[in-house]
Amino acid sequence: MKCKKNYSLVLSLVLLSAFFIGNAVAQDRQRVVGNQNERNNETSQPTPTRNPVSRPPLTTPIRVVTSEPSQPQLVKKTVSSTPVNAPPANYAGNQFLAAFNQRLMRAMQSRIGIPYHYGSDGPNSYDCSGLVWSVFQDAGLQFTRTSAASYYQTFEPVYGDERYKFGTLVFFNRLGHVGIVIDENTFFQASSSKGVTFSKFEGYWEKRVVGFRRIPLNLN
């Protein structure tokens, strides 16, 4: 009886051990299968691709520029060939005119107040044409002393702004009277009532203007 009990006990231990061993082996097998499945899943999953950077669509039309043959570059002129202190064009002519006008004005001013006398050309009295001739003589311009009408027929007519340049002759009263323009407002004359004087165009004289003439400075 005792032997049977021992045998039963041993058998029970063997079965129990086998159960535990089998259970352990099964768990290990599940772990191995699970690990393999995980590896397979990892390797079988497709590699994610990077999305390309989104860019806004082009709104400006593409222009194709054709290359042109290169042009030779021009060398920029940096040095002037004109001397720094060179006089302007017609400098000598401008100087001569300025000097002449100064002499003419001095000749006029020196005669202010001298009385009028018909047919006289100075120095103690003047008529209109004699006064014109006298002051131009003092300024250095030579021409024949004659009447106002003859001056009008001899010298060149001027128009527009030229009429009121200093030194222009202005004619009145059907060419019976002549004076010298100072500017657009004033002229110089031998007045029968006031003698040698500066007078205004405005009023009495502007209504009696016949025309304008210019004495050329190259008469000599």
Asked if residue 183 belongs to a domain, the reply is yes
On whether residue 203 sits in a domain, the answer given is: yes
Each residue of 198-213: pLDDT tens digit? 999 999 999 999 999 9
DSSP state string for the chain = -HHHHHHHHHHHHHHHHHHHHHHHHHHHHHHHHHHHHHHHHHHHSPPPPPPPPP-PPP-SPP-PPPPPPPPPPPPPP-S-SS-TTPPPTTHHHHHHHHHHHHHHHHHHHTTTTPPB-TT-BSSS-B-HHHHHHHHHHHHT-------HHHHHHHSEE--GGGGGSTT-EEEEGGGTEEEEE-SSSEEEEEETTTEEEEEESTTTTGGGEEEEEE--TT--
Q: What is the CATH number of the domain that holds 158?
A: 3.90.1720.10
- pLDDT by residue for the chain (220 residues), tens digit each? 544 555 566 566 666 666 666 655 555 555 544 455 445 554 445 554 454 445 555 555 545 444 454 554 544 544 444 444 545 555 666 888 999 999 999 999 999 999 999 999 999 999 999 999 999 999 999 999 999 999 999 999 999 999 999 999 999 999 999 999 999 999 999 999 999 999 999 999 999 999 999 999 876 5
Say if 118 falls within a structural domain.
yes
pLDDT, residue 96, reads 87
Q: How many domains does the chain have?
A: 1
4 occurs within a structural domain: no
- Tell me: the pLDDT tens digits for 117-165? 999 999 999 999 999 999 999 999 999 999 999 999 999 999 999 999 9
Domain that holds residue 120: 100-214
Q: Is residue 152 part of a domain?
A: yes
